[in-house]
Structure 1
Amino acid sequence: MKQILPFLFLFVPFITQAQDSIAIKYAQIISQPLLKKHLTFLASDQLEGRFTGSVGQKKAAVYIANHFQANGLLPIVADSLQQKSYFQPFYIKKYFGEQYSVIHNPTAKNKKGRGVIATENVLGFIEGSEHKDEVIVITAHYDHIGTQNGKVNNGADDDGSGTTSVLAIASAFAQALHDGFQPKRSLLFMTVTGEEMGLLGSEYYTEKPVIPLSKIICDLNIDMVGRVDSYHITENDSNYVYVIGSDKISPKLDKILTEINETYTHLSLDYSFNSEMHPLQLYYRSDHYNFAKHNIPIIFFTNGEHEDYHKPSDDVEKIQFDILQKRAQLVFYIAWELAQGTQKLK
């Protein structure tokens, strides 16, 4: 990654909102030991880099589904027998080289054809009480680039850290629900596959949504949040997160982000990549974009690329669990505010 020059951050003054003691209580469930437990499995050699369609990717899918089930999240995907499942299966076609695309209407013939990959998104749902048809989606991609030249690319940061965050945030909301604090709005926790092939899992969901896109009020997407990029290492600053897209569709969402951060997590919100015209074009490079192009408000959270990006050295041992915890808690607090707030995002 090219060196990124720092932007001058301009913050609009606002009155900090009062802390919500209930939100603080459940944010503590997103602990470093819990994050480490999930990530140690998801980024282990036995999953062989979670390449889309591989045995390792499917082991990860089962792990995620089991976690959703154990925490009481609802399966909402109708399977072939019209029973509810956590899995949203779809098919990907591989073309010459490393070109892939979703098969939106597969036939029996091309399902079994050469170069067709069977895979699945994993979805878990918590229904809201007062505004259950207004849905907050929290996403991360759980696939990675597999094994190359005999070496496993475990993808601990990309995107084991985001997937782990989704699992921990789901646990926090599930415990709150168990204790009687049902959210006013519904929450869909979705880990997608095929991201490394071109955002294909989220593309498939937005083309064949289980919950209609008209009911989704925002997508909070988490992709690489467990490390520090080269620029912030040089600045000796790990207390940051890049935020992208929060002001693009709903300015209120960006205001909620800044207020929540000021109230609870006190991270430096770095907008360096927020422009769609930035050379790295990160606005277009993760799963939030498939929601944004349907005019759904989004926020993309990331730590940026580092020296181990897409390398076998992206391992659990290099994850900074203190900053991973803080970033995951920021997403939780935003989701909590959106789920319990009095007004719907416009």
Structure 2
Amino acid sequence: MKKITTLLILTVLISSCSSSQSKKKLQASSLVIDYAKSITKEELKEALYIYASNDFEGRKTGASGQKKAVEFIKKYYVNNNIPSPIANGDYFQKIPEAYFKGRASGDSENVMAYIKGSEKPNEVVIISAHLDHIGVTKDGLINNGADDDGSGTVALLEMAEAFKLAADKGHGPKRSVLFLHVTGEEIGLFGSKYYVEENPIFPLKNTVADLNIDMIGRIDDKHKNNSNYLYLIGSDKLSKELHNISEAVNNKYFNINFDYTFNEDDDPNRFYYRSDHYNFAKNNIPVIFYFNGTHDDYHKPTDTPDKIEYDLLEKRTRLIFHTAWELANRDERVKVD
């Protein structure tokens, strides 16, 4: 009788524990969905209409318009009480003009903010986008760069706000999440190179992955008849586990059609080498590059915020937020192959 009673108690305890764990998983799923909902097309649009306005003069590296851009980003983080990992109130990683090898109009800066990890603060997931663009044409027309890369910039801001909301309610990420706005991308990936090679705020050995966003607000010609897509580049180059996590998150929550055309090793466009994730990949850090492909307004004054597909921008931003959430909260960091 004693043995039976003991077995019954153990059965109840195991069942209760199993139920609790399942509930915890459901709560975690519910949490990420709830916080992702704070990323809205209305807020993305409001921020982008400012960031890609004529006031920012095309955000050429080192120029006055780019200075306005970094101040806009900093103000956003200050207003949302999202701190800098550099020093209290100091969001700028300053890069001297000489570093740009004659391609910049002056000194420039990366901008960064972060949410400190609750359990593994020394490990970091980086979400990056470039803050610069190509400035003004010889004819005086402003290249607003709404898609390239205003879309990535405002996506970072919205994700940072979502992670901050979670942290304020006691649901902060286990690992730190760094929101890295890099300069000088258009003239040679200089800002990300400076972060990686000269002054990584978090040691590269502690960097779990880089999720890089460069143009996610438009539709290319290939997908005019099915706009529910996104190009992913690099997800399986260094970590099959990262690729599988990315796929699983998408399949569970979004069902976006991932297009891996530009991920092929023989891709003639060589996009894998053409955005800021590459400086991380060169140092054996797993990456994903999110991209909507080029369009007729690419690198032209006609890349304006009125042409952005804000429903798509919202969905794609939420996808990346979910992926970052998963990477930041897993028990083990993703493995490099």
Q: 2:52 aligns with which of 43, 51, 69?
A: 43
Q: Which residue of 2 aligns with 1:128?
A: 117
For the residue of structure 2 that corresponds to 1:243, the secondary structure is strand
Q: Which residue of 1 aligns with 2:270?
A: 281
Q: Which residue of 2 aligns with 1:306?
A: 295
Q: Which residue of 1 aligns with 2:217?
A: 226
Whole-Å Cα distance in 2 between the matches of residues 101 and 268 of structure 1? 40
Q: Which residue of 2 aligns with 1:153?
A: 143
Q: Which residue of 1 aligns with 2:207?
A: 216
1:244 and 2:233 are equivalent in the alignment: yes
1:92 and 2:97 are equivalent in the alignment: yes
Structure 2 unaligned blocks of 5 or more: 1-24
1:333 and 2:294 are equivalent in the alignment: no
Q: 1:260 aligns with which of 213, 225, 249?
A: 249
For the residue of structure 2 that corresponds to 1:258, the secondary structure is helix
Pairwise CA RMSD: 1.7
Q: 1:136 to 1:102 in 2, by over 3 A?
A: farther
1:63 and 2:72 are equivalent in the alignment: yes
Please tell me the residue identity of whatever aligns with 1:239.
N
Q: Which residue of 2 aligns with 1:25?
A: 34
Q: Percent identity?
A: 49
Please tell me the residue identity of whatever aligns with 1:219.
D
Q: Which residue of 2 aligns with 1:75?
A: 84
Greater fraction of residues in helix: 2
Whole-Å Cα distance in 1 between the matches of residues 331 and 202 of structure 2? 22
Whole-Å Cα distance in 1 between the matches of residues 270 and 191 of structure 2? 20
Between 85-94 and 34-43, the greater mean CA deviation after superposition: 85-94
Please tell me the residue identity of whatever aligns with 1:195.
E
Please tell me the residue identity of whatever aligns with 2:97.
I
| Residue-by-residue CA offset, 1:193-214 (whole Å, 9 max, x unaligned) | 1000000000000012111111
TM normalised by structure 1 equals: 0.86
Please tell me the residue identity of whatever aligns with 1:86.
Y
TM normalised by structure 2 equals: 0.88
Q: Which runs of 4+ in 1 moved over 4 A?
A: none
Please tell me the residue identity of whatever aligns with 1:202.
S
Q: Which residue of 1 aligns with 2:186?
A: 196
| Residue-by-residue CA offset, 1:14-72 (whole Å, 9 max, x unaligned) | xxx96800000000111001100110111000101011111111111011111112222
What is the count of residue pairs matched by the alignment? 308
The answer (yes or no) to whether the contact 2:125–2:210 under 8 Å persists in 1 is yes
Larger Rg over CA atoms: 2
Please tell me the residue identity of whatever aligns with 2:58.
G
Structure 1 unaligned blocks of 5 or more: 1-16, 95-99, 104-114
